[in-house]
Chains A and B, each alone.
Chain A
Amino acid sequence: MTQLRVLFPAILFAFWCISVEVMHFRLAGPRRDYYLEAGKKIALVQGDYHPPRARLLDAAGTPLAWSERYFDLVWQEKAAPPAKLLRQLGLELPFPLEPEQSLNGKTWILRRDLMPEELLQTAPVLRTHPALAIHSRLERIAVNIPAVREKIGATQLKNGGLYGVSGWEKDYDTHLRGTPGKYEVMLDRRRRWIDSSWKLVSPAVPGKDVKVPFRVEEIR
């Protein structure tokens, strides 16, 4: 075994190693922005988030209609969740599950109205079970007086926001609705949000409470 014979492969390896480092240098430096942009096209999405619709108040300041947001744990498949999975989830989650088919029949709601701490407890489970998701829903609540409800009118859920379609809800829609904010978030291969990647692009401007020039007693 001569020194020259041993050195020749060593020189080839050194050349190859330098080529690897040059390629790495190129990706980490001069071409970095290009690949970061390409990565954003694959994984980054922007979305709107709607501020809660503001309240409708009577002349004395009594709330007539307000919004509430709820979060449900949903099984995003038409078929019922397998019993084995429910048993496993029962062990992983500290709250009981009550599966019921959703109204549109396309999903199953495993638990309604999750509390904030329950949302945090659910996050790790979502990563291991692709068909599970948290769905939020906005609900418009109005006082339980038929004559007043008629004047208030109705709202409709569109793209995650509540829009007034009749009555005062429609008349004061622009004031009540506010302006949606924008966010961006990274998605994983299954197109689910990646924890900790959520970023606010522009904040939402909440709607303003509207006082109608009547008192509840007068309408009643």
Chain B
Amino acid sequence: MTRSNRTIFTIPALSCLIILWGILTITASQSGGQHPLYLAGKQFCFAVLGGALMLAVAKVPFEKHCRWRNFYAAVALLLLYLLPLAGVRVNGMQGWYSLGGFFLQPSELGKGIWLLMLACAGMRWKPMTLWSLAWIVPILFQPDLGTAAVYTAGLLCLWYSGGGKLKAAAAVLLAGLTAAGIFVCTNAYAWKRLTAFWDPEADPGGGGWHIRQFQMAIAHGGWTGAKLKQTFWSNEYLPLAYNDSAYAAMAETLGFAGCFAAMMMYAVLYLFLLRHALRQDLQQSARLYLAGAASLLAVQTLLHAGVNVGLLPPTGLTLPLISYGGSSLIGTLLMLGLAVSAARARTG
């Protein structure tokens, strides 16, 4: 098997394995309900659709994607900027379009396109900053701080990995932290959540509720997880168990062992992308894209898991490939499809 064929096989195969883990988690988190397979079935359909799109995107040469990038970006940004006019508000966030029962979240779908824009900008700080601001500012206004943090961290990793100046990365980091600090200090709700994070037991029924449910779900799962119909916390108490609390739900269903295995699968996928990013025979933009995709995947996974185990204050973030949601799953698969295409973009 050639290296190119191995890439085409390994990334989708690993993605499939993680998606199966997710479907199991979603099924367990709904096992006490009337239709335990409803969301899992929908997720399976999203996976089939996303998988087909991923393979289609992977088949197209990376140079062509780079040539069409402005068209992709125009569509993605149009969807993002029309949200205040035509979007719907879900959980206090105006980040979705409602299309006959299906909710489309442009910020999740557009991650791969944003990375493509940055990678093709060729490590020039001006276009990279402008494109990033064009994406992050409307996301901040939704307001979706979690996704904005993922984009910012992805930008920093890409900038640093690509050989950008450390001072510039530090400046972005400082600006981001200052903005986050000002937001938390001026927003009563955010302040309450932050104080509850420091001491969840001080207000167990209010600000600390979410964190306590994470802890109890993970504790209930123990080492090997609870039986399928005994996942009480995921079914009854954990807010959005199949989505923003997917790691805790997975911990209750599959235990420490199951979560460890999932993290190992993410690690293998991350290292696989990174290995290709270091290949000297690939085009510079393709290598940058691969490094960015690896970073974005790692940042989102670790932020989500960090929130769920209590290392970070609660914020709404999906666990890539595992959390329920068409936009998140298809968006991640599209990003990985572009990564497969990039891994085949040799120089000359």
A residues with a Cβ closer than 8 A to B are: 1-3, 5-6, 8-10, 13, 16-17, 19-21, 23-25, 27-29, 31-32, 34-36, 38-39, 42-43, 124, 127-128, 186, 188-189, 194-197
Chain B residues whose CB sits within 8 angstroms of the CB of A10 once the complex forms: 270-271, 274
Q: Are A1 and B278 in contact (CB under 8 A)?
A: yes
CA distance A23 to B229 in the complex (A): 26
Chain A residues whose CB sits within 8 angstroms of the CB of B270 once the complex forms: 10, 13
Q: Are B160 and A5 in contact (CB under 8 A)?
A: yes
Chain A residues whose CB sits within 8 angstroms of the CB of B251 once the complex forms: 24, 27-28
Q: Which 5 A-B pairs have the closest CB atoms?
A: A35-B219, A23-B309, A39-B216, A188-B236, A28-B256
Q: Are B219 and A1 in contact (CB under 8 A)?
A: no
Chain A residues whose CB sits within 8 angstroms of the CB of B34 once the complex forms: 124, 127-128
Smallest CB–CB gap between A118 and chain B, Å?
17
Chain B residues whose CB sits within 8 angstroms of the CB of A24 once the complex forms: 218, 251, 256, 259-260, 309
A-B contact count (CB 8 A): 122
CA distance A124 to B32 in the complex (A): 10
- Considering only residues 213-251 of chain B, those with a C-beta below 8 Å from chain A are 215-216, 218-223, 229-230, 232-233, 235-237, 251
Mark the stretch among B110-118, B143-151, B298-306 that contacts chain A: B298-306
Interface centre among B229, B233, B298 (most CB of A within 10 A): B298
CA distance A219 to B45 in the complex (A): 75
Q: Point out the residue from B216, B256, B310, B311 that lies within 8 Å of A38, measured CB to CB.
A: B216
CA distance A19 to B309 in the complex (A): 9
Chain B contact residue count (CB 8 A cutoff): 49
Q: Mark B300-326, 1 if CB is under 8 A from A, else 0.
A: 001001100111000000000000000
Chain B residues whose CB sits within 8 angstroms of the CB of A13 once the complex forms: 270, 298-299, 302
Q: Are B219 and A6 in contact (CB under 8 A)?
A: no
Are A21 and B277 CB-contacts (below 8 A) given A13-B298, A16-B306? no
A10 and chain B: residue at smallest CB distance: B274
Residue B98, interface by CB 8 Å: no
Interface majority SS (helix, strand, loop, mixed), chain B: helix
CA distance A188 to B32 in the complex (A): 11
Q: Are B306 and A27 in contact (CB under 8 A)?
A: no
CA distance A39 to B220 in the complex (A): 9
A26 and chain B: residue at smallest CB distance: B309
CA distance A96 to B274 in the complex (A): 64
CA distance A84 to B81 in the complex (A): 39
Are A28 and B302 CB-contacts (below 8 A) given A5-B160, A6-B291? no
Are A1 and B162 CB-contacts (below 8 A) given A9-B157, A13-B270? yes
Q: Are A5 and B161 in contact (CB under 8 A)?
A: yes
Chain B residues whose CB sits within 8 angstroms of the CB of A32 once the complex forms: 219, 222
Contacts beyond the supplied A3-B278, A8-B160: 14 A-B pairs with Cβ under 8 Å: A1-B288, A9-B160, A9-B298, A19-B306, A20-B302, A21-B260, A24-B256, A25-B256, A27-B219, A28-B219, A29-B223, A39-B233, A42-B216, A194-B32
Chain A residues whose CB sits within 8 angstroms of the CB of B298 once the complex forms: 9, 13
A3 and chain B: residue at smallest CB distance: B278
Chain B residues whose CB sits within 8 angstroms of the CB of A196 once the complex forms: 32, 229-230
A20 and chain B: residue at smallest CB distance: B305
CA distance A51 to B59 in the complex (A): 70
B304 and chain A: residue at smallest CB distance: A20
B255 and chain A: residue at smallest CB distance: A28
CA distance A206 to B305 in the complex (A): 52
